[in-house]
Structures are given as structure tokens and as C-alpha cells.
Amino acid sequence: MNPFNNPQIEIQGLPQAESLEFHSLEPSYKTALLIGNTVIFGIIGTVISMGFIFSDEDIPSLVLKIVPSVFLTIVFFSYLSIIFGFKNKLFAVRHQDLNYKKGWIWKSRMVVPFKRIQHSEVTQGPIDRIFKLAKLRVFTAGGSGSDLTIPGLKLEEANKLKTLITSRITDKQKLNGREEE
Amino acid sequence: MEERKSELQFGEPQRQSQAALILIIYNRFKNLITRFWYFIVFALFTGKTGDGGLDTVSLSIIGLTFIATLFGIISYFRYYYWIEGDQLMIRSGVLSKSLTQIPFDRIQTIDFEQNLIHQTFNVIGLKIDTAGSNQAETKMQALTKEKAKALRNFILSQKQETLIAESGDDYLTEVQLEKAEEIYKIDFARLLKIGITENHFRSGFVLLFGAFWLFDNIRETGLDVDEIGVQYYNQVLGSIVLAGTLLVLFILVSMIFSVSRVFLKYFNLTFLRSFNGFKVISGLFNRKEVAALDSKIQLLEWKQNLIQKYLGFHDLVLKQASSTEIGSKKSIVVPGVYSEDIENVKNYLFPDRMEDSTEMHQLNKWSLYRPLMYISLFAIGLAVLFVYLNLYYNLFALIVFYILVVVRLFKKYSKAFYGVNDRAIFVKGGVFGHKKWMTMHHKVQSMEITQSPFQTRRKLASLQIHTASGTKIIPFIELDRAEYLYDYLTYKVEVSTEEWM
């Protein structure tokens, strides 16, 4: 608790996030993503084709060519990004923080220390429920930029993580001599 | 002793001051007018009510106003607040009742607000900001001055007790502020300088946009603005005088606009330092008081544009954590601050920042080359097209524009630096002026590294430092350095014991 406690750290001794052993998400999450993608684009595709079929006016042939090809390209890339992106979505839990990596073309990695987490929640979408999957979301104070969501966890695993985070938060508060909640 | 009295004072559910009624009605009308003012302008300009459509519109506006006012009045009588344990309770709602519980330790700041109506009735409006929870800020329309002060003091002192075990350290109470020292008080000359060095183009364009919009609406009414315009235009066709006059007029009007805006906003501004926080009081008609506790301040930003650089002063922003998105709302903006004052603020807030011994690094050269490359390719393409089409005037304009953009890029690159020492993080930027940003390690919330395909190929990355009041991106630095800073700052946050919010 001494604010002037400022020991020197060896650069080599720093815990390195890169050398962490990351876990991949549940394989069934990939299936869930593919199903979700199919449903969403299926609906959009149906709406667009309905528009074409039931339109009173003549649609220029250029539009008839461009719209479907753009649409199909987007659909194609969305499937590609799910398939190739999935194995790049990785998470790791350390004693002090939560780590998440993602990205197939644009890569990103993020770390949120437990002591900066305000609260966390486990959510399940309709497709998640079929596969018994869940998302873990952690919230920090202030803007949403520093919030983190880890999808594709087993429900019980997500709940365990949430419990762990909650206990870490309260540990921290006891340590700091505060009592909240 | 005083606290007990305060507790008793707020123990029972009670209504706001009756002045709140007037404020509620005033706000309803203000909302309606800001939403429907173009109908009023429309009616004024045409002197007629339009094609029958407006009749229904005005009728429904009157109806809406009536209902809104009625609801406002009922809502006043249904609104109760009191203190229960260490929570502020608010019961409200006309049709559906709601009970809001705000635990004291969730409250970040309590700000006072006084517009003309508040001042006339000697009441104060309260803005209570909570962070970390989902509920946004809570507003109380009007409490009598004594009650507002008592409520704030009570909540903040209770909160202080739960936060820090040792006594004696009170939060910014009024008494404390009387002892507070003045960092600076604005004078007429400085107000004028701030007004003159404002970004006139911004205010000018706001005005211009408004004018165009009005013009458009007038034309729709059938008033033949075009005809008048064309006649006038023909008379002075080709006259550069017109263009010159318009430009001077534009600048003059914009300047008057921004100077008066600055006077309204910053009149009699006082920047105060208490031993544990800052306070700014300002405004001509609308006196505003904003306070920030040291530990709540997440980061400092200070910037100056080209003219401000020559006059030697900055705009200083103290950013606080808030539940709502960053915005300017929770920032304390202090305009016209000289370098010494900024040094003072930094010394108060971050005495051990060790700024002078910090090694500053430039961004990777690709942060310059990449946009340069793209812009050049684009410009060459356009230039070829213009030559092909014999559009030499456009080519000339393109070259001028290209040179400006390139100069801007070089300037921007030459000013972009970042540095991290044992305690603090510094980021510098700006194009023609300066823009500086700093925070301490323990204010960091989380770290992120992002890589675009271009960056991945060249072993580069962008580092994002997330704080409770916004994200700072350090773009285009070497990947190993980004990784090192990522690990280092994460480590520093995890071992820190300082209070950060």
C-alpha cells in the first residue's frame, strides 16, 4: 500500500502475453456462427429478391447484375472470415488478467486486468442456446472501448470464468480496504 | 454533528423546490421550440399557414405542448428524493412509477448548474454522474441553494468515509474551496484573445450552414430568392470585389460569433485548486460550476493552434471518468492557460511524472510513407485524367491541393511522438499547432494491439491504450516495441496500488 513502492523491473522478467498458452473456442461455436450467418444472409437475400420480383417498375439490368454479385461477394467473404477467422480467435486467463486474440486479416489482441473490471455477465443468444454456448462479457468503467467479449465458451465454462472474475474483483477490494456490493 | 442534521434533513421523502415547476415547463417549451422552430420561421416568413397542412401541425403542436406541460406538472408532484442508509433514492414517474437507488460510492461527481431561471429563484440544478453502472447521469431540476449544498456535502462526505478510513481528508466542500488557491482568473484581455484565436472556420461554417438551410426553407415557401439573387449577381458578375467582400464579411461575422460565444461561456472564469481537486466556475448568464477530484481525473490534454502558439497559451482539458461515452461533458475545459499554469496543474496531479527524463520516440516512418504513397497515386491518376481531358485549371488546383496535403502529412509526422517512463505515458501530436496528452500508468484500463495486413507484413502495429475517459492510439510503431509496452503497462497496472477512480 505504499504509494512510493516502485521497484525496478527487469525487462526480460516481464510476463509476456505473446508466450502465453492460448485456448481456442468451442468447435461447435464455428457451426453456430455458420448457422447464424446463413440465417441472416438468408433473410437479407430473401428480402432483396422479393423486392426484385414484386417491384412495379422495371429494374435496370445493370442493377440486376450488380446487386446480386455484390451481395454474393459479401456472403462469400463472410463465410471465409468465419472459417479462417475461427482458429485465430483465442483466449487465455492469467492470474491477473483476461487475454483475447482475434483476426484473420486484421489482427488484434487485448488484455484486461481483473482489477480494472467493473462487472461481468454471461449472455446466450438463441443459437448459442442450441449448442449450450455462451458469451462472457466484461465491462470496464468509462467508454466501451475497453470492454471485452469472449464468445463461444461452454456455458459452464463461461460461468466459472465469471465467478473467478467476481472473486478477483472482491479480493482486490478487500485488499484495498474497500467494501463494495 | 452537521452530518447528522443533513441526514435528518433528507431522511424523509421530499419534493424539489417549487421553482422546479417553472423549470420543467420552461424545458418542455424549449424542447418543443427547438424541435419545431422551423415551422415558426416558416409561418413568419410566408405570413400564411401553408397548404392547410400547417393548421393540423400547429394544432398538434399546441396539443403536444399542453399534454407535455400537464405531464411536467404531474411529474413534479410525483418526484420525491431522500436518503436511505448510504443511498440516494429517487421516486418518480407519472404513469409508470420508478425507484432509482444510487449508492454513494457509485457517484463520481455532483455538478451544480445555474441558468437565468435558477439564478432568479435562487435555486440550483444538480447533475449526478455515476460510473461503472448502466444508469447514465441523474438530473435534479432545482433544489434550494442550502439544500443543494447540504445534499452534495453530505453525499460526498459519506462517500469519503467509506472510501478512506482515515478522517480529516474531506472532499471539496464549500469551506475547503474558500481556502483553495486560484490557479488563474480570466481577465478581459485573455477572453478577447481566446475569442479571436478560436477556430473561426468552424463557427463560420456553422453559421453558413444555418444560413443555407434557412435559405432553402425560404425558397420552398415560394419566395423567389433565386430571382433576386440572379439579378444581383448579374450586376456584379465577375467582380472580385464581391468575393473579397464576402470573405471579409464571412471572417468578420464568424469572429463576432466566436468572440461572443467565448464571452458567454467563459466570462469571469475562475480556475481553482483545492488540496485534492480542481474547480472551474464560469459563464455570463449561465453560471456553471464543475469540480473534479484528483483521483477522478484520468488524463490531461493540452493543445494550441498556430495563433495560440504565438500568443503562448493553451486549451487545457482535464478528463474524468464517466458512465456516458467520453464526450466533452465530463471534461473540464480551461481555455487560455499559459505554460506555467499547465506545469502547476501537472505538478499538483502527477508530481512524480518525470517528464524531463523521458525519452520520446517518433512513429515508424511508414506512418508517413503509406498515406503519402496512396495520396500520390491518387493524385497522379487524377492528374493524368485532367491532362487527357485538357482541364488545366483543375490540374493547377490539384497540384496546389496536393502540396498542401503533403506539407500537412510531413508536419503531422514531424510532431508525432510518444514516450513511456516508469510512471507516465506521453503522446504528442498536432499539425501546425501542438497537441499533448498524458496519463499515469495506473489510469490504464486495458491494452490492445491491432495490426492491419500492411502492418503485419512490415512487423508494425498500432497500440491502443484504453482509459476510463477514452482511448489513445499510438499508430505505426514497431511490433516488438508495441508488444513490450503492452506487457510492461499491463504489468504496471496489475502491480499498482494507487487509487485510480
Q: Is residue A53 a part of any domain in this protein?
A: yes
Give per-residue pLDDT as tens, B272-294: 888 778 888 888 887 787 878 78
Taking CA–CA distances from A96, the nearest residue in chain B reads: B494
Q: Is B321 on the interface with A (CB under 8 A)?
A: yes
Q: Is residue A9 a part of any domain in this protein?
A: no
From chain B, the residues in CB contact with A5 under 8 A are 497
Q: Is B86 on the interface with A (CB under 8 A)?
A: no
A79 plus A113 within the same structural domain: no
Domain count across chain A? 2
Predicted complex ipTM: 0.84
Under a CB-based contact definition with an 8 Å cutoff, are residues B462 and B472 in contact? no
What is the Cα gyration radius of chain B? 28
A114 plus A62 within the same structural domain: no
Given a cut of 70, is residue B219 above it in pLDDT?
no
A74 plus A105 within the same structural domain: no
Edge to edge, the sheet with strand B98-103 lists B80-84, B87-92, B98-103
Give per-residue pLDDT as tens, B96-119: 777 777 778 777 778 888 888 888
Whether A142 sits inside 8 A of B467 (CB atoms) is: yes
A32 plus A100 within the same structural domain: no
Q: Is residue A108 a part of any domain in this protein?
A: yes
A66 plus A122 within the same structural domain: no
Q: Which of B456, B471, B490 sits opposite A97 (nearest CB)?
A: B490
Q: Is residue A3 a part of any domain in this protein?
A: no
Count of Cβ atoms closer than 10 Å to residue B277 Cβ: 23
| Residue bearing cell 456535502 | B153
The whole-angstrom distance between residue A95's C-alpha and the CA centroid of its chain comes to 21
Query: Across residues B151-171, what is the average pLDDT?
Result: 61
Rounded Cα distance between B456 and B482, Å, is 13
pTM of the model: 0.70
Mapped onto helix, strand or coil, the DSSP state of residue A13 is helix
What's the gap in Å between the CA of B436 and the closest CA on chain A? 21
In this prediction, residue B476 carries a pLDDT of: 92
Answer with the one of A59, A86, A113 that is the final residue of a domain. A86
Q: Is residue A77 a part of any domain in this protein?
A: yes
Looking at per-residue pLDDT, the higher value among B391 and B204 belongs to B391
Whether A17 sits inside 8 A of B446 (CB atoms) is: no
What's the gap in Å between the CA of A93 and the closest CA on chain B? 14
A63 plus A100 within the same structural domain: no
A65 plus A101 within the same structural domain: no
Percent of chain A with pLDDT over 70: 84
CATH number at residue A147: 2.30.29
A171 plus A128 within the same structural domain: yes
A97 plus A163 within the same structural domain: yes
Q: Counting one residue from A and one from B, how many pairs have CB atoms under 8 Å apart? A: 120
Q: Is residue A99 a part of any domain in this protein?
A: yes
Looking at per-residue pLDDT, the higher value among B216 and B4 belongs to B216
Looking at per-residue pLDDT, the higher value among B142 and A143 belongs to B142
From chain A, the residues in CB contact with B453 under 8 A are 105-106
In this prediction, residue A3 carries a pLDDT of: 42
Whether A141 sits inside 8 A of B132 (CB atoms) is: yes
Given a cut of 60, is residue B327 above it in pLDDT?
no
Return mean pLDDT, chain B: 80
From chain A, the residues in CB contact with B444 under 8 A are 116
Q: Which residues pair with B418 in a beta bridge?
A: B361, B427
Q: Which of A103, A110, A143 sits opposite B326 (nearest CB)?
A: A143
Query: Across residues B6-21, what is the average pLDDT?
Result: 80
Q: Is residue A2 a part of any domain in this protein?
A: no
Q: Which of A17, A103, A142 sits opposite B321 (nearest CB)?
A: A142
Rounded Cα distance between B465 and B421, Å, is 15
DSSP string for residues in B294-336 = GGGEEEEEEEE-HHHHHHTEEEEEEEE--SS-STTTTEEEEEE
A82 plus A120 within the same structural domain: no
The 3-state secondary structure of B78-146, one letter per residue: HCEEEEECCEEEEEECCCCCEEEEEEHHHEEEEEEEECHHHHHHCEEEEEEEECCCCCCCEEEEEEEHH
In this prediction, residue B171 carries a pLDDT of: 41
The backbone torsions φ and ψ at residue B472, rounded to the nearest 5 degrees and listed phi first, read -110, 130
A97 plus A171 within the same structural domain: yes
In this prediction, residue B425 carries a pLDDT of: 94
Count of Cβ atoms closer than 10 Å to residue B13 Cβ: 14
Q: Is residue A101 a part of any domain in this protein?
A: yes
Return mean pLDDT, chain A: 83
Query: Across residues B280-309, what is the average pLDDT?
Result: 84
A160 plus A108 within the same structural domain: yes
Banded model confidence at residue B329, pLDDT cuts 50, 70, 90: low
Q: Which of B131, B162, B493 sits opposite A142 (nearest CB)?
A: B131
Whether B322 sits inside 8 A of A106 (CB atoms) is: no
Range of the domain at A68: 27-86
Q: Which of A5, A17, A139 sits opposite B486 (nearest CB)?
A: A17
Answer with the one of A49, A70, A86 that is the final residue of a domain. A86
Answer with the one of A86, A105, A120 that is the final residue of a domain. A86
Give per-residue pLDDT as tens, B156-165: 777 766 554 4
What's the gap in Å between the CA of B470 and the closest CA on chain A? 6
